[in-house]
Structure 1
């Protein structure tokens, strides 16, 4: 019996080893799949093989999504859906299938720079040497970190951890202390002039533009009802509660609509909305599951609807209104923002792209209570309301499209206000420390190390 069990274990180990080896693919084999392919909504994506971790990636609008090998020519995306590559009768890759749809290979000739795979090209011999951020013509004042209370030794360790891959896919880290940029580092192919997607951190910008529209008298106040801005819609599931939804309810994610990212059964599923022809109508058509001002539910349809309200009130596109007000006042000149809430934005999510330095300026504006260069860009009252708890969303205190949270370091709680988005995009305001931290990253649909980096290497300096 014992001999039989040993034999069985041996055979199982052989089978297990065979199974693991069966789907193991080399970098050279992965390169066979590289190319530019068709994608949804008449867009394209790139397939790239990483020489660093020997993983195949789908690149959509610069965001990388890992594809794990399952069997020959079949990979699983992050939702564990099958991506099957197709070959012709000469065994050449011609396209792929996903969710029952076929997408063709457009161009096999692609070139991916080595920088996109490594935090620093000299990572094996990396030794960090701090340099004061360079002064630019963007309105930011720079300063040596030595003149602050920040711990340069801790930041050295942070840099080492990012470069050695302990914290993967971190694209930038910036620190403003006492109004001055004292730390600025970029990784992979990113630099201070390259625009970076903000994902849901865009919501906090929509909040700011709403406040500016109210400050200018273009919107009466946050208590105006939402439906009054959309008389052209004949809505489904229309109730008296729905008629009472206000701008404030959108800002605090308390619309009461059946739209909750954390609930897979919610009718306001973000993926479904993304491929609808009118995101605002899709949102306002949803049934009510709570009263306005009730339970906080994370719903991307709320700020999208809010953005459309600002457009209607200002008679300008949201990007143009931003350009003529907020961005003009704080010196943001380089940005990309296609705010079209319909199926054409299914892969870009109506998000804005900014440089990390400009993200830091936005955070500094709020830290300074809406003032930039002695000008009140956003009213002090709006900034205060925005950064005050009005609801609880996903277990976290929530203001006007700002997260109100704390990070704990050795038993001490540090309270911050955050604009944040998928992938590790973080703009933190630390009022007690008179500091702004910005981290951008590429950990899409996966755990981001951004908060841990701040907890371990930036905030501990204030414990001393």
Structure 2
């Protein structure tokens, strides 16, 4: 320990690193891009900034101590090894002198060593180029959602920020301001889109798809295209609409093209269901009711129980097994983030304890889909990669794709298979066609019917369900509901197959980790694509 003023620090900090920090301790500044602390200068700090949908915004805060020490001063009775979980920064944002949003940041970020050492923060609020939904970006998005969006109307505003430390024992105790600063803004987030200057992509045939001659509202699609170009919708890379088997709409953004192989993350999980259905129809796997014990000697794994032995393929297809894994719970032992650093992802999953409270209840569980991929790889001739190529990709005319692999060199069924947008559309159209492609039954219609069944209710979501690694919900457009089964992946990636309409929609996007990713894709479908395709006469 060492002394800072009249208080005793509990950890040693990195100290005041630069002359710039020394001259600006206790202040917050803003920059329009990420600038390293070692090259940051006073002239880089903004006094005035025009904020558009394409703008980036970073903040730099200088403190005279580290967060761990600030929390220690607030609650000296809390031991060092508990301080990290006992509080964090409190961020407050004001617009034009009015407090809009205050958040006691959840313990967990920044990392413990940063909380111990750092006497400054250099973080993004908005990073349209490289943002991955980090904790500071998430705070800004919560601010927008909780009044900031309305407060930052077009025109002149003053944005002010205050940072305090807080700790929580039985109650929350908040410290004094440790840094504050403001920025004059000219907000211009509602651009006028002149659709007369926007042209739509000229569509040509693609292997497996003809060009649709059906009518649609081209002005609505031009308005959508302009909104994407203006950054109202962010990191959208392609939009494809197939109607009655033909390409109706095909647009690309952010330098992607018809040939670009896009990573749709968990969209790839759904292919595992497809290949499982194919393997069952060909007799390589008996049926989806087969228990895990027929594939693995579970007594050789940790946390053995007879209940674990009875987990079925169907339980994993519907994400409702009793294995203690939930990707939506950061503290879950089976969270996928705990799986990736391990050397054997299947062992990771099968080592998990069985929890009766999870059994037969839906919970998002990526590791379970990895197990399904391993079962397939062991069961089909020549392994999963060759089987998928022969039974699915070649029949669909999909020749260019890139599949990631597990540490055991098995195709990664957790997600991450890269294809172009039109090949993803072929996959969706196969389901729309009841498993037929080029007049050949590639996938069993019975399997598609079981897949497109509301197997499980999605926790916390009204009228949303889960089938066999496909999601289900209804989109509402102009007062009408359109039910769909769909594949979804991080970043706002979708393959949407409409149940009662001759329609397949593909959206590829790279808003990875961003909280707006899925909601903006839904808005595109509901407010633009469906109204454009189903023009009311």
Q: What interval of TM-score do these two structures reach, taking the shorter chain for normalisation? A: 0.7 to 0.9
Moved more, 263-272 or 172-181: 263-272
1:407 Cα deviation from its structure 2 partner: 1.4
Does structure 1 conserve the Cα–Cα contact (< 8 Å) formed by 2:195 and 2:223?
no
| Match for residue 53 of structure 1 among 52, 55, 58 | 55
Q: Distance in 2 between matches of 1:420 and 1:227?
A: 30
Question: Is the partner of 1:272 in helix, strand or coil?
Answer: helix
Hey, what does 2:140 align to over in structure 1?
Answer: none
Give CA deviations for 1:155-192 in whole Å, capped at 9, x if unaligned: 11111111111001000000000110111111012111
Report SS of the residue matched to 1:334: coil
Q: Is the 8 A contact 2:393 2:399 kept in 1?
A: yes
Cα deviation, residue 32, structure 1: 7.3
Q: How does 1:375-454 map to 2 (within 5 A)?
A: 375-394=440-459, 395=461, 396-446=464-514, 447-448=516-517, 449-454=520-525
The partner residue of 2:529 within 453, 458, 462 is 458
SS at match of 1:427: strand
Shift of 1:29: 6.9
Deviation at 1:290, TM superposition (A): 2.5
**Secondary structure of 2:238 counterpart:** strand
Aligned-partner Cα distance in 2 for 1:217–1:410: 46
Q: How many aligned residue pairs are there?
A: 374
Determine if contact 1:255/1:293 at 8 Å carries over to the other structure: yes
What secondary structure, in the 3-state scheme, does the structure 2 residue paired with 1:329 have? coil
Instruction: Report if the CA contact (8 A) 1:340-1:350 is conserved.
Output: no
Q: Distance in 2 between matches of 1:454 and 1:264?
A: 30
1-side partners of 2:222 and 2:350: how far apart? 49
For residue 253 of structure 2, the aligned residue among 187, 203, 208 is 187
> In structure 2, what is the equivalent of residue 322 of structure 1?
388
| Cα distance in 1 for residues equivalent to 2:121 and 2:363 | 40
- Comparing 360-369 with 150-159, greater Cα deviation is found at 150-159
Q: What secondary structure sits across from 2:448 in the alignment?
A: helix
Query: Which residue of the other structure, out of 243, 265, 285, is the alignment partner of 2:351?
Result: 285
Q: Secondary structure at the match of 1:308?
A: helix
Counterpart CA distance in 2 for 1:400 and 1:349 is 14
| 1:63 match | none
Does 2:277 align with 1:211? Answer: yes
Does residue 19 of the first structure (1) align with residue 87 of the second (2)? no
Alpha-carbon distance in structure 1 between the residues aligned to 2:299 and 2:277: 25
1:371 corresponding residue in structure 2: 436
2: CA distance between counterparts of 1:17 and 1:158? Answer: 45
Return closer, same or farther for 1:29/1:177 CA change in 2, 3 Å cut-off.
Answer: same
CA distance in 1, matches of 2:502, 2:384: 30
CA distance in 1, matches of 2:492, 2:289: 33
| Counterpart in the other structure of 2:205 | 135
TM-score of the pair, normalised by structure 2: 0.64
Distance 1:344 1:226 in 2: 18
- What CA distance in whole angstroms lies between the structure 1 residues aligned with 2:343 and 2:136? 25
SS where residue 336 of structure 1 aligns? Answer: coil
Cα deviation, 1:129-165, whole Å, max 9, x if unaligned, reads: 23441113x2211123xx23x3222111111111111
- Secondary structure in structure 1 of the residue aligned to 2:468: coil
- For residues 508 and 252 of structure 2, the distance between their equivalents in structure 1, rounded to whole angstroms, comes to 9
Q: In the aligned structure 1, how far is the partner of 2:513 from the partner of 2:293?
A: 33
Name the CA distance, whole Å, in 2 between partners of 1:132 and 1:441.
Answer: 21
1:24: Cα distance to partner? Answer: 2.3
Partner secondary structure for residue 212 of structure 1: helix
Q: State the distance in 2 between where 1:404 and 1:161 align.
A: 27
Is the 8 Å Cα contact of residues 384 and 411 (structure 2) preserved in structure 1? no
> What is the distance in 2 between the residues matched to 1:368 and 1:222?
23
* Larger deviation, residues 171-180 vs 453-462: 453-462
RMSD: 3.3
In the aligned structure 1, how far is the partner of 2:410 from the partner of 2:318? 27
Counterpart residue number, 2:320: 254
Q: Which has the larger radius of gyration?
A: 2
Give 2:376's aligned residue: 310
1:457–1:230 CA distance, 2 compared to 1 (3 A): same
Cα distance per residue 1:235-264 (max 9 Å; x no partner): 111112111111111101111111112222
Residues 201 and 251, structure 2, Cα contact 8 Å, conserved in 1: no
Deviation of 1:422 (Å):
0.2
Q: Is the 8 A contact 1:173 1:183 kept in 2?
A: yes
> Which residue number in structure 2 is paired with residue 356 of structure 1?
421
Q: Is the 8 A contact 1:409 1:455 kept in 2?
A: yes
1:196 aligns with 2:262: yes
CA contact (8 A) 2:298 2:309 kept: no
> 1:393: Cα distance to partner?
3.0
The aligned residue for residue 295 of structure 1 is 361
Distance in structure 2 (CA, Å) of the matches to 1:31 and 1:318:
49
CA distance in 1, matches of 2:268, 2:468: 12
CA distance in 2, matches of 1:322, 1:193: 21
- Tell me what 2:5 maps to: none
CA distance in 2 between counterparts of 1:131 and 1:31 reads: 45
